[in-house]
Structure 1
């Protein structure tokens, strides 16, 4: 139509997502470690052209013609974050009048603050996990892998060699 900008008639890709949980698993910090959730979330944010809502890019000014649309898209991204968090994490992150970026930072802080204490607790559990305490060899291996992922999230990565030694 005359007078319309080329983008005003296009549907933003964010509106095509009907259930983000089909694409990004619910973050609980155990079965789905933070680093895996982040990788999946960023992949989808990039694909649906909303990465700028979580990477710290400033919002347009309230007087900008695109501000209202930006707010709507940001609300969708914020919903994506909220619905991909476990109930426990959601209770810690949910706030009135938040932006997607602010919620993203709150989630990040939960997993990256107090790295030393988290690393020490995870390291203790990793080192002391015994096959006898698990219902099966599969559960034991999965728990070791989960703990290794969580240790990586707090910059205390477990080497493959150490993982194999722990299995023995």
Structure 2
């Protein structure tokens, strides 16, 4: 059991009818930006999501903690929270990603791992494709200098996600 689980568990022992903190989240999209893999990179989204999972005592639904057995009296409460966390994931990914991960039978952990595989598998191939885009991006292909800078920075962030970070000096050289 994690320390956040301990805190939640101890607060529920003092007040067993207390509502779990996760139920107080009414609009997760206002807290976690939509993961699209371009503007919001996978690594940024994961950090934001984990911050909220910790704050609302549901990290155990996306980390390695196994669910309780279905015959356990705590299973129904766990399942409700797990579905809520799954909804958070579904509500904070782009429509393209949603169609790839949506599964009504999956746990939040399974959905989390599916997203991880989408973004972290084939890193080398993705890095080569992104590097090619980065090197070949020209100012004439963009609508403005601001757009050019933004696209370069987005590509640099995506390269960081596949373990091929672009240094600031290289970014400046490419810009020039």
State the TM-score, normalizing by the size of structure 1. Answer: 0.94
**Equivalent residue for 1:30?**
38
Give the 3 Å change call, closer, same or farther, for CA 7–67 of structure 1 in structure 2.
farther
**Correspondence for 1:109 among 111, 117, 125:** 117
**Equivalent residue for 1:124?**
132
Equivalent-residue separation in structure 1 for 2:33 and 2:13 (angstroms): 37
Runs of 4+ in 1 over 3 A off after TM superposition: none
Matches within 5 A, 1:95-106: 95-106=103-114
CA contact (8 A) 1:13 1:48 kept: yes
**Equivalent residue for 1:6?**
14
**Equivalent residue for 1:83?**
91
1:103-134 CA-to-partner distances (Å, cap 9, x unmatched) read 00001110001111111000000011111211
Equivalent-residue separation in structure 2 for 1:76 and 1:125 (angstroms): 38
Give unmatched runs, 5+ long, in structure 2.
1-11
Give unmatched runs, 5+ long, in structure 1.
none
Equivalent-residue separation in structure 1 for 2:162 and 2:25 (angstroms): 31
Equivalent-residue separation in structure 1 for 2:16 and 2:83 (angstroms): 19
Is residue 27 of structure 2 the alignment partner of residue 19 of structure 1?
A: yes
**Equivalent residue for 2:79?**
71
Q: Post-superposition shift, 1:39?
A: 1.0
The RMSD of aligned alpha carbons is 1.3
Is residue 156 of structure 2 the alignment partner of residue 154 of structure 1?
A: no
Aligned pair count reads 165
**Correspondence for 2:172 among 155, 164, 167:** 164
Equivalent-residue separation in structure 2 for 1:5 and 1:65 (angstroms): 16
1:86-109 CA-to-partner distances (Å, cap 9, x unmatched) read 111011101131100000000111
**Correspondence for 1:61 among 60, 66, 69:** 69
State the TM-score, normalizing by the size of structure 2. Answer: 0.90
- Give the number of the structure whose residues are more often helix, by fraction: 2
**Equivalent residue for 1:135?**
143
Equivalent-residue separation in structure 2 for 1:128 and 1:117 (angstroms): 17
